[in-house]
Amino acid sequence: MDLTTFWFIVIAVLWIGYLVLEGFDFGVGMLMALLARDDKERRVLLNTIGPVWDGNEVWLIVAGGATFAAFPEWYATLFSGFYVPLLLILVALIVRIIGIEFRSKRPESWWRLRCDIVIGFGSVVPALVWGVALANIVRGVPIDADQEYVGGLLDLFNPYGVLGGLVTLTVFLVHGAFFIGLKTTGPIRERAIAMGLRVGVLAAFLTTVFVGWTALRDDTMQVWAVGVGVLVAFVLGLAAATARRDGWAFAGTAVAIGLLVVMLFAALFPDVMVSSLDPAWSLTTDNASSTPYTLKIMSWVAVVFTPIVLIYQSWSYWVFRRRIGVQHIPG
């Protein structure tokens, strides 16, 4: 395996980590207005992600940094062509952070309501727009011979891109619901599982259409195989939730999200951005990569520091593994 292929796989793994972990963060944020009956229950939901949400966002920073260092041409074309959607995601993430961090700073109900609104906004927008962006990278966008994006914002909101956004939105909602079921007790847990199962039916339908559409476009055995794996994992997660096996339900949606990213990157390879104007103008792992020396230095850094980060984050999840309920929230 050459270093360009290795770093393509590394970036895919970073996106898997980000979307699996931040996916349930977004799900919890979206469900605050739907599940909680009072302020204590909303505080319970926030406390389920309180120790981990900021660590989950680090995966996005590392994925962006790795893309910039390993494939600078990919980074330049992606961030210039998708400037408005990425800016919208950035603004949503910023106001979401403000809502989470400052919600407890004042006791007034109007203050907390406004924070809850921005938390919901900051969760819905990335959950939707990330799907639109990833789907368009695979579908292809207008890139000219100079490897520059020459389309407009509306070009990204095509049927395939919108379907990709709806898939990530609904799947993250189910993923978050099953995470709440895993981390809480009492009525909140029961409402979360019931909500996850209801939305799961819609999510399963949308995911089936998206997987079939992607596999038919690419028409390779590996994309078909991974796509079937996505659907099997998601259905098994719903079945586990029905049986009140919270850990297996959450694992099912996590594996489904991870395999969905694998399917998209498998359909993309060896390209990193497809030109819808002329396939010869597409960015590939070869023409978009850094020098071999840069990739070699990055590889050694990744080998040394990645295990440390994984061990630390796993330890954080282990420390905060217990379930919580309203009885644990002080007045």
Q: Report pLDDT for 192.
A: 94
Q: Give this prediction's pTM.
A: 0.93
**What is the per-residue DSSP string for 188-229?**
HHHHHHHHHHHHHHHHHHHHHHHHHHHHHHH--HHHHHHHHH
Residue 253 pLDDT grade (very low, low, confident, very high; cuts 50, 70, 90): very high
Under 8 Å between Cβ of 143 and 275: yes
Q: What are the tens digits of pLDDT across the range 266-325?
A: 999 989 998 888 888 888 998 888 889 988 998 998 888 888 888 988 888 888 888 888
In this structure, what token pair is assigned to residue 256?
């489904």
pLDDT band at 147 (very low <50, low <70, confident <90, very high): confident
Q: How many Cα atoms occupy the beta-carbon half-sphere of 90 within 13 Å?
A: 9
Average confidence (pLDDT) over 150-161: 87
Gap between the Cα atoms of 199 and 217, Å rounded: 27
Residue-level pLDDT at 301: 87
- pLDDT reading at 15 higher than 90: yes
Q: Percentage of the chain with pLDDT > 70? A: 100
* Phi (first) and psi of residue 284, to 5 degrees: -120, 175
| pLDDT tens string 201-235 | 999 999 999 999 999 888 788 999 999 999 999 99
pLDDT of amino acid 203: 96
43/271 Cα distance (integer angstroms): 44
331, pLDDT greater than 80: no
Each residue's pLDDT tens digit, 192-203: 999 999 999 999
Check pLDDT > 90 for residue 254.
yes
DSSP conformational letter for 328 = G
**Does pLDDT of 1 surpass 80?**
no
- Domain ranges in the chain? 3-138+146-267+292-328
Side-chain half-sphere of 232: how many Cα atoms within 13 Å?
7
Q: What fold does the segment set 3-138+146-267+292-328 form as a domain?
A: Formate dehydrogenase/DMSO reductase fold (1.20.1630)
pLDDT band at 174 (very low <50, low <70, confident <90, very high): very high
